[in-house]
Amino acid sequence: MSIKQKTLDLKQRMQNALQGGGAKAIEKQVAMGKMTARERIISLLDPNSFHEYDLFVEHAAKDFDMDKKHLPGDGVITGTGTISGFPVCVYAQDFTVAGGSLGLMHARKIGKIMDHAMKLKIPIIGINDSGGARIQEGVNSLAGYGEIFYRNTQASGVIPQISVILGPCAGGAVYSPALTDFVFVVDKISKMFITGPEVIRSVLGEEISMEELGGARVHSEITGNAHFFTESEAECFQKIKKLVSYIPWSNKRKAATFPKKAPKTKQYRIDNIIPTDPREPYDVRDVIKAISDDSDFFEVQELYAANMVVGFGRLSGQTVGFVANQPLILAGVLDVDSSDKAARFIRFCDAFNIPLVTLVDLPGYLPGIDQEHAGVIRHGAKILYSYSEATVPKLTVILRKAYGGGYIAMCSRHLKADFVFAWPTAEIAVMGPEGAANIIFRHEIMNSPNPEETRKRKVEEYKQKFANPYVAAAHGYIDAVIEPSETRKFLLHALDISAEKDEKAPEKKHGIPPF
């Protein structure tokens, strides 16, 4: 054969492989409202940047007549490309090929592209759309999953790992996304569960739809497994592109810097956001937007444990991770879920050299039997652990209430915050004035001829004396009491001078966080 003929032969072979599961299967995929695996990769990456590898990989299974079956690419597409110029490794399971089921070679392709990502120190993005293990391949498909989980764990904290759920992701398959840093879901398309509705029906006699059991909304609002809820695949890819712009390629780098932009101060007037009555709510995201470059805030886990707000923004062009109590929801209390949410986000930022900015306004921990029994002690400890462990620049602004254990937990000086600022509206105290006065002056109130009036007077006295930032300032627990309008200026300067911060954790194999 001449080179020309050989090239033609190659083209023919590629043509065959690129058809995936064929026209009929593709039709079915489209009818489900889904893009094909290749279309997904192309929409996610920069135009013409996708380079595919292992196109000619075939399965090697023999049992159950598998040797007679030809599965193009073994049901998964792998390769490299760029997103806004940032290099990424990517794989996408192809549901049109044997339902995207995971066999040995399918898993090897994923493992190989993950190994590339680790060597090249660039992010890995996995698009999941699979019926699960390829039962015909038996224990080999289990081996495949296990090898992916191992790689996810090794890569954790070294390169950013992003999972995109664009179809079913059931049984063992759910644990790869669960081990990655960010999980994207799309309403009515994503489905994640360990045991599906059929098993639940046969074992329990309970009827539940896939959507109610493990749909995008369930994982965004209730379980916290998903980090980004989107309405369509197109919106999902836009959000992934945005996320990639905030995070570095690996733990050896810093996130890319963008041109500095002032916040939209006409829209977000920092002096007018917070009601002075500490019992009144407001949206803390307005404070973030009053501080961040271009008033941009990219929220993570927006629908889950909304009493805590976490997400990315930029200060002077540099990515920071914002962690803030949300008085609009449950008065911004710490509870089991909000502690988990914040702790995980803090650890991501710390692993990837992203400075932390914490905005504090909380009454304490959520009281309740359900909270105690759900382990608020262990879960609450995670936030202490992750803040204490973090060595990136840690900047804290106390906006209003900072009571009790909540004050300590929200990146206080005592957990080695680098800079702690407080607004004049801050109330840093062992507990809320009412509770404190009721305990300290209990006898005085009880024995007075008019207990209610005495109580009110004592609460007022306590407020005058302790519900302010100056007691803590007198001890050096906060560095400066600042006007709200000076917040950005102070944060930018603190960030600037922390650029070379070099704090080392004591040498250890790893800590033992209260999982």
Tell me the CB-side half-sphere exposure of residue 80, using CA atoms within 13 A: 15
Q: Is 403 a residue that touches another protein (CB under 8 A)?
A: yes
Q: Does 292 bind another protein (CB under 8 A)?
A: no
* Nearer to another protein among residue 58 and residue 460 (C-beta): 460
By the rule CB under 8 A, 461 interacts with another protein: no
Q: Please count the other Cβ atoms lying within 10 Å of the Cβ belonging to residue 2.
A: 7
Q: Is 453 in the site for another protein (CB under 8 A)?
A: no
Q: Find the binder of another protein among 52, 115, 211, 221 (CB under 8 A).
A: 221
CB-nearer residue toward another protein: 74 or 427 = 427
Which residue, 176, 171, 206, is CA-closest to 192? 171
DSSP 15-65: HHHHTTT-HHHHHHHHHTT---HHHHHHHHSPTT--EEE-TT------GGG
Contacts of 290 by beta carbon, 8 Å cutoff, 6+ apart: 263, 265, 268, 269, 270, 273, 487, 488
Of 341 and 394, CB closest to another protein: 341
Distance CA 196, CA 214 (A): 9
Q: How far is the CB of 400 from another protein (least distance, A)?
A: 11
**Cβ–Cβ under 8 Å, residues 259 and 246:** no
Asked if residue 506 binds another protein (CB under 8 A), the reply is no
Collapse the DSSP code of 126 into the 3-class scheme (helix H, G, I; strand E, B; otherwise coil) and give the result. strand
How many other CB atoms are there within 10 angstroms of residue 83's CB atom?
A: 21
Asked if 205 is part of the footprint of another protein (rule: CB under 8 A), the reply reads: yes
- Using the minimum distance from each CB to another protein, give the nearer residue, 101 or 295: 295
Number of residues that bind another protein (CB under 8 A): 46
Q: At 262, phi and psi to the nearest 5?
A: -75, 150
Nearest approach in angstroms of CB 446 to another protein is 15
| Interaction between residue 405 and another protein (CB under 8 A) | no
| Binding of another protein by 280 (CB under 8 A) | yes
> Smallest gap, in angstroms, from Cβ of residue 110 to another protein?
31
Nearest to 188 by CA among 171, 209, 162, 174: 209
Q: Which is nearer to another protein, 126 or 332 (CB)?
A: 332
Question: Is 462 a residue that touches another protein (CB under 8 A)?
Answer: no
What residues between 427 and 446 interact with another protein by CB under 8 A?
431-436, 438
Angle between helix 336-351 and 376-389 (nearest 10): 20
Nearer to another protein, 193 or 419 (CB): 193
CA atoms within 13 A on the CB side of 378: 7
* CB-nearer residue toward another protein: 8 or 199: 199
Amino acid, res. 424: P
Q: Which lies closer to another protein via its Cβ, residue 67 or residue 206? A: 206
Site string for another protein, 104-133 (x = CB under 8 A): ------------------------------
Does residue 279 belong to the site contacting another protein (CB under 8 A)? Answer: yes
Contact 282/326 with Cβ under 8 angstroms?
A: no
Q: Taking CB under 8 A as the criterion, which residues in 322-341 touch another protein?
A: 327-333, 337
474 in contact with another protein (CB under 8 A): no
Helix (H, G, I), strand (E, B) or coil at 447: helix
211 forms part of the interface with another protein (CB under 8 A): no
Token pair for residue 313?
């923004």
Q: Answer yes or no whether residue 206 interacts with another protein by CB under 8 A.
A: yes
Residues that bind another protein in the complex, under the rule CB under 8 A: 203-206, 221-222, 229, 231, 278-283, 302-307, 327-333, 337, 363-370, 373, 403-404, 431-436, 438
